[in-house]
Amino acid sequence: MSAVAQNQDNFSQIRTSREMGGITVLVKNLVKRFPGVTALDNVKFELRKGEIHALLGENGAGKTTFVKILYGIYVPDSGDVIVDGKKVTFTSPIDAIRHGISLVSQIPQIIGSLTIAENIILGLEKYGLMTKVRKIEDYIREESKEVGIRVDPNTEVWKLSYTQKQLVELLRAVILGAKVLMLDEAITFLPIREKRKFYKFMKKFVSQGGSVILITHKIPEALEAADRITVLRRGKYVGTIEAKNATIDTVRRMMFGERSAEITYERLPLSTPEDKVMLEVKDLWVMGDYGAFAVKGVKLQVRAGEIVGIAGVAGNGQLELIQAVMGLRKVRKGQVLLRTNGGLKDVTNKGTGVIRKIGVGYIPDEPLKFGVSMENNIEENLAMLPLIAQGFIKWSQMRDLAERLIKEFKVITPSSKTPVKLLSGGNLMKVLVGRELSVARKLLVAYNPTRALDEVTAIAVRKTIKNKVLKDRIAVLMVSEDLDEIFQVSDTIAVMNAGKIVGVFPAEKADRDQVEKLMVM
């Protein structure tokens, strides 16, 4: 507790010493309420010129709301936003961009069917209709060299990897004249080596007088990249500290308070898999989006009471493998077999409906796009699953189920009738995980099941999955880009690289170094 008070003192000290670096953005007494929740309650924040400032907080702490206010998507109920000494009220992202504030979010906001150059031109006021395309391309090439990103402006965006897309977003922001870059969980899911590219870029950007707000729920990321760290909790300002004086433990305590004691990365108890195979994948070949095989002859077994964790750098065929297992992507060769009450059944290319009916839960890779319907409320998002409701819907039943999930997963929501678009990313994920666990009678297929969840919640979700496996003896096939997660819950660890399984280890014998080597081999 004293640490927090001390940090608040620090903050006032910093404010009085303005001369050490001008203040670019100053936020005072910011309040934003939504029906049933106060998302931001008297929040203050200070961004100096030339600093990387991390904004940390657990799910629902108000980070995203804060960013959306600075970016003009929400208008605050009260409070001041001062940019370069002038009070501003942004009512659209255009206002923010004109003031040099740009946002790069978790989901790339660039248009897939256009080239990089075309995407960048869209926001560029410097060039008009009649400018030769060549000239713009040269300009982009030059600028990208300047900021240290190598791109070919003629590449269509859909061909890029996630990292490249995010880099293009950054490039666009810089070309549009950003002085303040906000990265909203933009690099949270990148492997550490890719992250370092961004760190390098950020350091260069701030050395040239820019400032960065790094929004994240990963403490190590903040400690490594940021100069200062501000923590929010439940919509309230907790404190600001210098990153060099901070440790994981102090930041955790600021983020979670008492609950930080629940954080552990110890391996959860291993379950004892039975011999009964629940999911078998035989010599599977699946095409990726770009006309080449993304999955090349994968062989895999998941037994009852077993969690198989697939480790790998994103984009090595894990996604396509999962989609093929779920019947969402065509299998070109090979077989997917699932255990039904009548033994193993071939479900290759049988369609998602058939596969789900056997009792398969699915946590997809882009939860907002494939997991939930944003316009509908929690109850409706439960009833949409054929495994939960068929024909006439008994809404009272749905309400009971929704309320059970809300209680079990500590979902922060005004009610079970709240449209899920009003939930924070983490709470939305909890609803999805809860729903899918409730229908996984035989198998759970998951892709980054704790993405967007803070440490305390992520660990709680992992424990819930583990308990379900121990209790109901279901099988789990889990892909995660987070090695901590893989090591914490898996009974068996498989490493996927370039469309192939390149190593399978029982959890107790798996060696982290070896796994990492296989991932980038």
Partner 1 sequence: MRLVVTRRIKPLRFGGIIIPLLSIIIGIVIASIALLVLARVPPTLVYTIIAQSFVSPQLLRPFVLLTILGVALIISFSAAVWNIGAEGQIIWGMIAAGYIGLFVAAHSMYIKPSELPTYENMPGVMILDRSPIHPVVSVLNVSPAVGGALMILAALVFGAIWAFIAGTLRAVLEIDEVASTLIMNYIAYYSFNYLVTGPMRGLSVQARNFGRTDALHEALRFQRLPIAGTTVTWQEVATMVVVFVLAWVLLKYTTYGLRLRILGSNPNALRAAGVSVRKYIIAALTISGAIAGVVGALIFAANLFALNKIDNVVSPPTQSMGYTAILVSWLAMLDLKGIPISAYIVAGLMQTGNSLQAALGSVSTAGAMISGAAITHVLVGFVLLTYTVLRVFTEYSIKVVRGGR
Q: Which is nearer to partner 1, 54 or 372 (CB)?
A: 372
Q: How far is the CB of 277 from partner 1 (least distance, A)?
A: 22
Q: Which is nearer to partner 1, 135 or 330 (CB)?
A: 330
Q: Which is nearer to partner 1, 291 or 353 (CB)?
A: 353
Q: How far is the CB of 392 from partner 1 (least distance, A)?
A: 6
Pairing of strands 180-184, 101-104: parallel
> What are the structure tokens assigned to 40, written together?
């931001």
Q: How far is the CB of 353 from partner 1 (least distance, A)?
A: 4
Q: Which is nearer to partner 1, 65 or 271 (CB)?
A: 65
Q: Which is nearer to partner 1, 34 or 199 (CB)?
A: 34
Amino acid, single-letter form, for residue 19 = E
Which residues are CB-contacts of 18 (< 8 A; sequence separation ≥ 6)? none
Q: Are 481 and 314 in contact (CB under 8 A)?
A: yes
Q: How far is the CB of 430 from partner 1 (least distance, A)?
A: 17
Q: How far is the CB of 88 from partner 1 (least distance, A)?
A: 7
Report the alpha-carbon distance of residue 339 to residue 152 in Å, rounded. 48
> What are the structure tokens assigned to 93, written together?
């992202």
Q: Which is nearer to partner 1, 326 or 474 (CB)?
A: 326
**Long-range CB contacts (within 8 A, 24+) of 117-120:** 117/153, 117/154, 119/157, 119/168, 119/172, 120/153, 120/168, 120/171, 120/172, 120/175
Q: Which is nearer to partner 1, 367 or 499 (CB)?
A: 367
Q: How far is the CB of 519 from partner 1 (least distance, A)?
A: 27
Q: Which is nearer to partner 1, 117 or 355 (CB)?
A: 355
Q: Are 496 and 315 in contact (CB under 8 A)?
A: no
Q: Which is nearer to partner 1, 3 or 384 (CB)?
A: 384
Q: How far is the CB of 469 from partner 1 (least distance, A)?
A: 22
Report the alpha-carbon distance of residue 126 to residue 117 in Å, rounded. 14
Q: Which is nearer to partner 1, 385 or 470 (CB)?
A: 385
Report the alpha-carbon distance of residue 330 to residue 105 in Å, rounded. 31
Backbone angles phi, psi at 358, to 5 degrees: -65, -20
Q: Are 157 and 119 in contact (CB under 8 A)?
A: yes
Q: How far is the CB of 60 from partner 1 (least distance, A)?
A: 16
Q: How far is the CB of 422 from partner 1 (least distance, A)?
A: 7
Amino acid, single-letter form, for residue 166 = Q
Which residues are CB-contacts of 228 (< 8 A; sequence separation ≥ 6)? 51, 53, 54, 240, 241, 242, 243
Instruction: Map 273-321 to HEC letters.
Output: CCCCEEEEEEEEEEECCCCCEEEEEEEEEEECCCEEEEECCCCCCHHHH
Which residues are CB-contacts of 175 (< 8 A; sequence separation ≥ 6)? 120, 124, 140, 143
Report the alpha-carbon distance of residue 66 to residue 158 in Å, rounded. 30
Q: Which residues bind partner 1 (CB under 8 A)?
A: 34-35, 74-75, 80, 86-89, 91, 95, 326-328, 351-357, 362, 364, 369-376, 380, 383-387, 389-393, 395, 422
Q: How far is the CB of 368 from partner 1 (least distance, A)?
A: 9
